[in-house]
Amino acid sequence: MIEFQIAINEPMIKCDLHIHSKYSFDSLADPEKIADLALARGIQCIAVADHGNVKGSLEAAEYAKKKNLPILVIISEEVKSKQGDILALNIKEPIPDHLPAGETLKRIKDQNGLAIIAHPFGSFCGFKENLSNYLGQFDGVEILNGSVFSGNEKAEDFARKHNLPFTAGSDAHFANRFVGTVWLELSLDWLPNLTPGQIIAAIKEKTGKTAGRRQPFLSKALDHSFRSLAKLKALNM
């Protein structure tokens, strides 16, 4: 894992920056339950990044605000570009799927969002072109994805080689599975007025570390099977 030593007693916040809700076609998770479970597992910042929309983010953020929960919800989306999936963190409006990666990245930047290449070297879900060709257009890469079968180590090597910011996320699709099992630790204090901008700035400083509990192969296989069932349910609705 890429990491820097954090001094004893230094403030620290745990962030799960890749979670899906029922507003993704392959998920059944309720945004409110996601927020509750993440908090119960010690996570204080989440990005609900649904496929093609920000509805889950908005719902989770509203719930956290209404209940005065000590958790920050970053409005996000996982955008499916023609070349691969891109996490758009801290955006205001959804970005359409199936655009060229360059255009997707431009639209994220136009909203002052953070553009992170999701699971860039994951089996069956990796970026479809040479990622080096897009250096300078994206902000960083996801080096620890809790749901992929392989590719995290290669992503970490890529981030290290190019001195890129990095993130971590469970890529959870069900509220009772995977949420908060991996995370990015940042040297920030939890305060009620903590902002997404502070999280983004800390990510860009590259002074965090990834951590969490790796899930066994069987758990990942079952999770992907459940996603397939969710897709079938969505098609029949």
Q: Please state the pTM of the whole predicted model.
A: 0.88
Q: Are 138 and 167 in contact (CB under 8 A)?
A: no
Binned at pLDDT 50, 70 and 90, residue 10 comes out as confident
Instruction: Using the structure block, give the residue that is written with the tokens 């699971």.
Output: 119
For 41, phi then psi, to 5°, come to -95, 15
Q: For residues 233 and 26, what is the distance between their CA atoms, to the nearest angstrom?
A: 9
Nearest to 116 by CA among 38, 26, 41, 184: 184
Angle, helices 31-40/55-67, rounded to nearest 10 degrees: 60
Per residue in 157-201, pLDDT (tens digit) is: 999 999 999 999 999 977 667 899 999 999 999 999 999 999 999
What CATH architecture applies to the domain 13-236? Alpha-Beta Barrel (3.20)
pLDDT of residue 4: 42
Write the DSSP assignment of 187-214 as a string of letters: S----TT--HHHHHHHHHHT--EEEE-P
Amino acid at 160: R
pLDDT (tens digit per residue) in 105-162: 999 999 999 999 999 999 888 999 999 999 999 999 999 999 898 899 999 999 999 9
Domain ranges of the chain: 13-236
